[in-house]
Structure 1
C-alpha cells in the first residue's frame, strides 16, 4: 500500500504568521503553525509532521506531493552534502532551517518514500486542500483566533496526534499575537529559531532558480495581504467556519450577489456555514490602494456555471483587514 499525501506551507508576509498542513483526504489531515515563520519552514514542517504521523506504519510506502522544489531538493539532493560539511553550505555559511532539516533526517531513516513536485495553485486536489489548510492556520495566527488542527492519521501515536505547544523558544525574535489560538495544532520552532529570520541569499537563489517562487517581501504590501485574505475566504474550509468568517467580514459587511440579492453580514455567515460550496479559483485583475486604509480588489472567479467578475473592498479595522463590501456580476 502507498500513502499519498500533499504537504504545504504558508506565511503571510514571509516571514509572518505561518501555517503548515498535510492532507490525504477529508478524514485524514493535520495542520498547525507559529506566530512568525516563513513559507519554507511551513513546507518543511508539513513533511516532518507527516513522517511523524505515519511512524507507526513504517512499512508503507509514502508518496509526498510538494509544490516547493526547495523542500524536495533540500531533502533528496542537498542534505547529504550539507551533513558531510557539518550542516554548512558550499560557502561555509550555516544551512538555513537546519534544526528542521536535522529532524527530517532522523525521521526519514528507514522509511520508504518518494517526493513528487506538483505545480501550486493549479487545481491539483490534494495540493489545494493542503494549501487551504496551511493558509487557514497562518491566518488564524494573524487574527489571533483558533484554527482547525484536523483529525490526524488513523492509528497514529497519541503524542503525534496531540497539538503541540504554541510557544516559540525564547530566542525567537517576533512577538506572539495578542491572542494565541488555544486549540490550534502547532509545533514550536526548533532551537536556533532566531537564525531563521536572517536573510540567506543562497537559499533565496535556490528558490528562484528552481522556479519555486520567492514569496512576499518581509513587510507585505496591503494589496498583497488583501489578496491572500480574499483567497482564504474563498476556501470552503473557512467559509464553513462561522468563527473564521466573523473575523474576516467587517461588522458592516454587505454583498450584492451575482443573482442580484443583497446580503448582510449575519445572513451571509449563516448561508456559508450551511453551504460553503467548492473551492473557487480566481484570476486577479487589479488591486488598488484607496488612501491608507482601504484596498479595492477586482478579479474573475471560475465555476462550472461560468465566470463571474467580482469586486471586494477591504478596509483596515483597527489592526485587521476586513471585507467591507463585495459584488459579483456574471460575465457575458
Structure 2
C-alpha cells in the first residue's frame, strides 16, 4: 500500500499569519498554523506533521507531493551535509528553520518515503486541496476566527504537534534555493537519494534552476516575457522567494524609482519583508532584439500611483530571466 498525500504551507505577508496542511482525501487531512510565521515554515511543518501522523504505519510507502523545492532539497539533499557541519551551511552561517528540520530528520529516519515535486497553483487536485486548507488556517489566524484542524489520519498516534505556537520567525528559507539541476513536475526522489548533484552539495545564495520550464518555448518570445512580467507583479509571486530566484537573472540589476541600484540578492531580501499589493499592467511595446533578448515597456498602476517601466529579458537555456528593470513614476 502507498499513502499519497500533498503537503503545503501558506503565509499572509511572509512572514505573517501562517498555515500548513496535508491532504489525502476529504476524510483524511490535517491543518494547523501560527499567528506569525513564514511560508517555508508552513511547508516544513506540513511534511513533519504528515510524517508524525503516519508513524503508526512505518511499513507503508509514503509518497509526499510537494510544490516546495526548498523542502525537497532540504530533506533529500542538504540535511546530511548540514548535520556533519553542526547544522551550519557551507558559508558557516546557521541553517534556517533548524528546529523543524531536525524534527523532520528524526521523524523520517527508517521510513519508506519519496518526494514528488508538483507545480503549485496548476490545478493538481491534492496540491490544491492542501493549499486551500493551509491558506484557510492563515486567514483564520489573520481574522482571529476558529482554525480548521481537520479529522487527521485514521489510527494516528498523538502527534504532539504544537499547532498554536510557531517556531521563531526567521527569514523565509529561500537562501537554500533550488538546486542547479532543477525539478520537473512529477519528478520523484526516493528515500536516501537525490537525482542530480552530490548529496551534500549546496548552491550559492539564490542559485537558479537551469531546466524548469518557466515559459514554454511553443509560445512566442513576446507572449512569454509579457506573461512572466505579469507573474512578477502578482503579490503571490513576490512573496515566494524561491519562485523569484528562478525568474531573476543571476546578474539582475534594477534602478528603482528612488534612483537606488538593486542587485538580485538585495531585491530578493527586500521582497521578503514587502507586503505587495495588486498592480495592473498596460503593455506599451515588446521588442525582440535578437533570439535571446527582449525589451518590454509598460505602464503599471497600483496603490502608489502609475509608473512607466522597462524590463530587459534574456533567454537562458529554456528560460526567460529578467536581467534589468527600471521604473519611473508618472507625474
| Fold shared, TM-score > 0.5 on shorter chain | yes
TM-score category (smaller protein)? 0.5 to 0.7
Give, in angstroms, the shift of residue 221 of structure 1.
2.5
**Aligned residue number for residue 213 of structure 1:** 243
**Aligned residue number for residue 255 of structure 1:** none
User: Is there any run of 5+ residues in structure 1 with no aligned partner, and where?
Assistant: 169-187, 225-285, 293-332
Q: 1:291 to 1:98 in 2, by over 3 A?
A: closer
The alignment partner of 1:30 has SS state of strand
**Structure 1: how far apart are the matches of 2:89 and 2:70?**
14
Once the two structures are superposed, residues 167-225 of structure 1 have per-residue CA deviations (whole angstroms, 9 ceiling, x without a partner) of x3xxxxxxxxxxxxxxxxxxx42xxx25x14x77733566662474149642312338x
* C-alpha contact (below 8 Å) 1:70/1:207 kept by paired residues: no
**Structure 1: how far apart are the matches of 2:153 and 2:67?**
22
The alignment partner of 1:209 has SS state of coil
Q: 1:54 to 1:287 in 2, by over 3 A?
A: farther
**Structure 2: how far apart are the matches of 1:287 and 1:11?**
26
**Structure 2: how far apart are the matches of 1:143 and 1:219?**
20
Q: Does residue 1:203 correspond to 2:176, yes or no?
A: yes
**Aligned residue number for residue 80 of structure 2:** 80
Q: 1:143 to 1:52 in 2, by over 3 A?
A: same
**Aligned residue number for residue 30 of structure 1:** 30
Q: TM-score, normalised by structure 2?
A: 0.57
**Aligned residue number for residue 40 of structure 2:** 40
Give, in angstroms, the shift of residue 164 of structure 1.
3.6
User: Is there any run of 5+ residues in structure 2 with no aligned partner, and where?
Assistant: 178-203, 213-241, 245-267, 280-298, 306-331
Once the two structures are superposed, residues 115-165 of structure 1 have per-residue CA deviations (whole angstroms, 9 ceiling, x without a partner) of 0000000000000000110111111111111121100000111x22x7745
**Structure 2: how far apart are the matches of 1:70 and 1:43?**
9
Q: 1:119 to 1:291 in 2, by over 3 A?
A: closer
- Report the number of matched residues: 204
* C-alpha contact (below 8 Å) 2:18/2:137 kept by paired residues: yes
* C-alpha contact (below 8 Å) 1:223/1:287 kept by paired residues: no
Q: TM-score, normalised by structure 1?
A: 0.57
Give, in angstroms, the shift of residue 12 of structure 1.
0.8
Whose helix fraction is larger, Structure 1's or Structure 2's? 1
Aligned CA RMSD, in angstroms, stands at: 2.6
**Structure 2: how far apart are the matches of 1:76 and 1:102?**
13
* C-alpha contact (below 8 Å) 1:149/1:163 kept by paired residues: no
Q: 1:165 to 1:108 in 2, by over 3 A?
A: closer
Mapping of 1:309-324 within 5 angstroms?
none
* C-alpha contact (below 8 Å) 2:21/2:46 kept by paired residues: yes
**Structure 1: how far apart are the matches of 2:300 and 2:136?**
22
Q: Does residue 1:20 correspond to 2:20, yes or no?
A: yes
Give, in angstroms, the shift of residue 64 of structure 1.
0.1
**Aligned residue number for residue 223 of structure 1:** 278
Give, in angstroms, the shift of residue 287 of structure 1.
9.3
* C-alpha contact (below 8 Å) 2:277/2:303 kept by paired residues: no
**Structure 1: how far apart are the matches of 2:300 and 2:44?**
31
Once the two structures are superposed, residues 67-87 of structure 1 have per-residue CA deviations (whole angstroms, 9 ceiling, x without a partner) of 011100110010000001110
